[in-house]
A and B are shown apart, each in its own frame.
Chain A
Amino acid sequence: MNFLRFLFGCFKIITKGGRIYYSSLFFLLVLIVWGGLGYLDQLQNGLIMTNMRDSVSWGFYIGNFTFLVGVAAAAVMLVIPAYIYDWKPIKEIVIFGEILAICAVIMCLCFIVVDIGNPLRFWHMLPFVGTMNFPYSILSWDFFVLFAYFLLNIVVVTHLLYKQFFKKHYNKSIILPLVLLSIPAAIAIHTVTAFLYNALPARPYWNSALLAPRFLTTAFCSGPAVLILLFQVLRKTTKFEIKDEAIFTIAELMVYAMFIYLFFTISEFFKEFYSNTEHIVYWDYLLWGAEKNKEIAIYSWASIIMGTSAFILFLIPKTRKNLLTLNIGAVLIYFSVYLEKGITLIIPGFTPDTLGQYFFYVPSETEIRTAAMIFSGGALLFTFISKIAIAILFEGFSIDSLEKKATMQFETT
């Protein structure tokens, strides 16, 4: 009974909002429909609607999957500094970080579903009903850790919000261990995703021990970048309080991550270009293209330039402690990591292919539309859950407020 009223109240919250709210909802819905119609083509005709072929058998979908695993991981890893530095609104940081993680994991799973040839057969990889190849296949590990991580986050978030809704204290002896457990789980999902590529000797471009560490550092750049921007929006529009110092501390932590990321990248470049073995072909394609084909080079240079500029903006104390330049830096690093994970990590791994043949891949319209559908769906979900969370945390949406409204209505009628 109470639960239904809670759901009904939530439904009211997400359907009410100002003009900006409605127009952004409309915008997202348009994108979802436009993308969905593109995906329908793929459902009917198969993955031939993408530009992937036998030579480049993974592309834009898997790249987006990889990027979003990073976002999901880093949002929660932010709990460590929040805990150590004792930032005041730690509960709120945990909640919004985990909401972002939940949405990112859902988007990850969507990208997997659109990428596989027979999504309806997904149950074949489950234990008991199917024949899960555990522990040999890293993909079954990845599925396992992603699912566990998703459950962890959803339990923590719903428990915290639901208790607050009923004006009760949350159960600290359950929640605190779960939050602490979600931190190594966050590291695990990104590490295992890196191992997915890392463990393939057939693909020298990925077969580097630095891949997993690089994944973690990029995640620590892109995830907090989203949260820095989100916290400022929340601070302006709700009663959410976070001091500038806390934001600057996040930025400071991001500088360390960016520095390590830069260092790792330079180490890899040095090793590949100085030793100049036959494996250099992938790196050549990454940075200079193959003869006239420079599709990927544009993205890799854009990623390098944006990443370096963000690093400089975050490194200099004056620009780090200025909200405008800080925000520019956050946007730059976010897109730098997006291009790196989404495009320049996967595609050069397949170009040239294992027999030395070049197939030049860029995403097709279907792939871009399908990705747009998933990203807008994720954004919509994130907006809805955040709006409910904001209402519960800052706007006094609770069982009392609902009861008050009910009695008022009763009196007027």
Chain B
Amino acid sequence: MQKEEKSNSRREFLKKLPVLAVGAAALGGCSQEEIEEYFQQNFKTLSKEEKDEIVKNLEKKYSEKYGKEFTVSDTPATEGILFGYALDLSRCIGCRKCVYACVEENNQSRDPQVHWIQVLQMEKKKGIDLVHADVHYNPEKVPEEGHFYMPVQCQQCRNPQCVSVCPTKATWQDDDGIVVVDYNWCIGCRYCMAACPYGARHFNWGEPNIPDEEINPITHYLGNRPRTKGVVEKCTFCIQRVREGKYPACVEICPTGSRKFGNLLDPDSEIRYILENKRVLVFKEELNTQPKFYYFFGV
């Protein structure tokens, strides 16, 4: 009987071995911060103090990693502001300056390449017709004869399907209307990418790569801070800029002034002027996503 008991306890121990080994290896390979980060809760559910602490730790971590002073802000939405965007289809020449300004401002991976803005080249005689649209156009000079250009980025829907399908609430629409992602909470299931009708969400298929000297150190937790592999990212109207009262990078860079941005709740704003005085359209309006991104014809 005694012998049997002994062999049993040995067997029991052997059964636990793999679990212990995996656990020990997992814990051994992780620093205290990594373990803390692993158990960090959904950013939206945290208190102001908890958010501030996380942001402070991130600043330290990024500053060490990239060798320059980093700021990570967690500035919340301001009451009375609902951001809206308008793009003048008659002025856009398809130069893609916005695409690359966005990449630099928002720390998108250079290789593998991530672009939050896609510019579609379309034939004038066909109108807005996706079947004949091309994002890979590459002529010597734009605009090309007989074509017009339609840049597409996150349309910041009032009824965002990407948010309803997310199984973890890792993405949500903040009070100023910006749809954001908590990169620490996203499990990378990509259901939001299947649900987005505008191809606005992008996945980090591999480890993102940005040369240290090109990194933008002025960041927001829900925006352009460095991402890791396996998470989804998207346009946030440059949350790190617009919440500080600046224009998005794509608006600033546009050489033709096709891009307009402002507060939809302010009756004197430029965006409201456009909505009232120009002919506007929203992309794929039949899907009832109700974008806050409007296309219009200025001339």
Which segment, of A49-57, A224-232, A297-305, A392-400, faces chain B? A49-57
User: A118 near B188 (CB under 8 angstroms)?
Assistant: yes
B164 at the interface (CB under 8 A from A): yes
User: B131 near A46 (CB under 8 angstroms)?
Assistant: no
Are A202 and B287 CB-contacts (below 8 A) given A46-B207, A118-B188, A137-B191?
Answer: yes
Closest to B130 in A: A356
Cβ-neighbour of B185 out of A57, A119, A121, A278 (below 8 A): A121
User: A117 near B231 (CB under 8 angstroms)?
Assistant: yes
User: B167 near A143 (CB under 8 angstroms)?
Assistant: yes
B51 at the interface (CB under 8 A from A): no
Q: List the B side residues contacting A121 at CB < 8 Å.
A: 168, 185-188
Cβ-neighbour of B204 out of A117, A196, A281 (below 8 A): A117
Q: List the B side residues contacting A385 at CB < 8 Å.
A: none
B273 at the interface (CB under 8 A from A): no
Q: List the A side residues contacting B197 at CB < 8 Å.
A: 201-202, 354
A200 at the interface (CB under 8 A from B): yes
Cβ proximity bits A375-395 to B, threshold 8 Å, 1 near / 0 not: 000000000000000000000
Cβ-neighbour of A116 out of B131, B188, B206 (below 8 A): B188
Which segment, of A67-75, A122-130, A244-252, faces chain B? A122-130
Cβ proximity bits A95-122 to B, threshold 8 Å, 1 near / 0 not: 0000000000000000010011111111
Q: List the B side residues contacting A143 at CB < 8 Å.
A: 167
A265 at the interface (CB under 8 A from B): no
Q: List the B side residues contacting A350 at CB < 8 Å.
A: 194
Q: List the B side residues contacting A58 at CB < 8 Å.
A: 190, 194
A139 at the interface (CB under 8 A from B): yes
Chain A nearest CB from B203 CB (Å) reads 6
User: A118 near B231 (CB under 8 angstroms)?
Assistant: yes
A121 to B39, CA, bound (A): 9
Q: List the B side residues contacting A274 at CB < 8 Å.
A: none
A349 to B195, CA, bound (A): 11
Chain B nearest CB from A66 CB (Å) reads 13
Q: List the B side residues contacting A352 at CB < 8 Å.
A: 130-131
User: B202 near A125 (CB under 8 angstroms)?
Assistant: no
Cβ-neighbour of A355 out of B38, B44, B118, B185 (below 8 A): B118
Chain B nearest CB from A359 CB (Å) reads 11
Chain B nearest CB from A245 CB (Å) reads 45
Chain A nearest CB from B156 CB (Å) reads 16
Cβ-neighbour of B38 out of A120, A130, A136, A199 (below 8 A): A120
Chain B nearest CB from A138 CB (Å) reads 7
Closest to B162 in A: A202
B177 at the interface (CB under 8 A from A): no
A132 to B287, CA, bound (A): 26
Are A200 and B161 CB-contacts (below 8 A) given A131-B42, A139-B189?
Answer: yes
Interface residues of B in 235-276 (CB under 8 A from A): none
User: B169 near A133 (CB under 8 angstroms)?
Assistant: yes
Q: List the A side residues contacting B135 at CB < 8 Å.
A: 355, 357
B170 at the interface (CB under 8 A from A): yes
B278 at the interface (CB under 8 A from A): no
B166 at the interface (CB under 8 A from A): yes
User: B120 near A47 (CB under 8 angstroms)?
Assistant: no
A140 to B195, CA, bound (A): 15
Closest to A115 in B: B189
Chain B nearest CB from A413 CB (Å) reads 13
Cβ proximity bits B221-239 to A, threshold 8 Å, 1 near / 0 not: 0000000011110000000
Q: List the B side residues contacting A124 at CB < 8 Å.
A: 42, 168, 170, 185, 187
Interface residues of A in 286-337 (CB under 8 A from B): none
User: B287 near A46 (CB under 8 angstroms)?
Assistant: no
Cβ-neighbour of B166 out of A117, A137, A278, A354 (below 8 A): A137
Closest to B230 in A: A117
B205 at the interface (CB under 8 A from A): yes
A57 to B165, CA, bound (A): 15
Of A45, A352, A357, most buried by chain B (CB within 10 Å of CB) is: A357
User: B207 near A202 (CB under 8 angstroms)?
Assistant: no
Interface residues of B in 30-61 (CB under 8 A from A): 38, 41-42, 44-45
Are A117 and B168 CB-contacts (below 8 A) given A48-B112, A57-B193, A202-B194?
Answer: no
A45 to B207, CA, bound (A): 7
Q: List the A side residues contacting B112 at CB < 8 Å.
A: 48
Cβ-neighbour of A46 out of B118, B169, B205 (below 8 A): B205
Of B130, B152, B287, B288, most buried by chain A (CB within 10 Å of CB) is: B130
Chain B nearest CB from A285 CB (Å) reads 11
User: A117 near B206 (CB under 8 angstroms)?
Assistant: no
A185 to B152, CA, bound (A): 42
A122 to B170, CA, bound (A): 12
Interface residues of B in 144-183 (CB under 8 A from A): 152, 161, 164-170
Cβ-neighbour of A55 out of B130, B166, B191, B199 (below 8 A): B199
Cβ-neighbour of B164 out of A55, A137, A278, A355 (below 8 A): A137
Are A117 and B203 CB-contacts (below 8 A) given A202-B197, A356-B131?
Answer: yes
Closest to A353 in B: B199
A4 at the interface (CB under 8 A from B): yes
User: B8 near A4 (CB under 8 angstroms)?
Assistant: yes
A190 at the interface (CB under 8 A from B): no
B77 at the interface (CB under 8 A from A): no
User: A200 near B195 (CB under 8 angstroms)?
Assistant: yes
A341 at the interface (CB under 8 A from B): no
A281 to B129, CA, bound (A): 12
Closest to A4 in B: B8
Closest to B170 in A: A124
User: A46 near B204 (CB under 8 angstroms)?
Assistant: yes
Give the 10 A-B residue pairs with the shortest CB-CB distance, closest first: A117-B188, A117-B230, A356-B130, A48-B206, A202-B197, A139-B167, A48-B205, A124-B168, A46-B229, A57-B193
Q: List 13 A-B contacts (CB under 8 A).
A: A46-B207, A46-B230, A47-B188, A50-B205, A57-B194, A116-B190, A118-B231, A130-B42, A196-B191, A201-B287, A202-B197, A354-B197, A356-B120
Chain A residues near B (Cβ < 8 Å): 4, 45-48, 50, 52-55, 57-58, 112, 115-122, 124-125, 130-133, 136-140, 143, 196-197, 199-203, 278, 281, 349-350, 352-357
A48-B206, A131-B42 given; name 10 further pairs at CB < 8 Å. A46-B207, A47-B229, A112-B189, A117-B229, A122-B187, A202-B197, A203-B194, A278-B130, A355-B118, A356-B120
Chain B residues near A (Cβ < 8 Å): 8, 11, 38, 41-42, 44-45, 112, 118, 120, 130-136, 152, 161, 164-170, 185-191, 193-199, 201-207, 229-232, 287-288
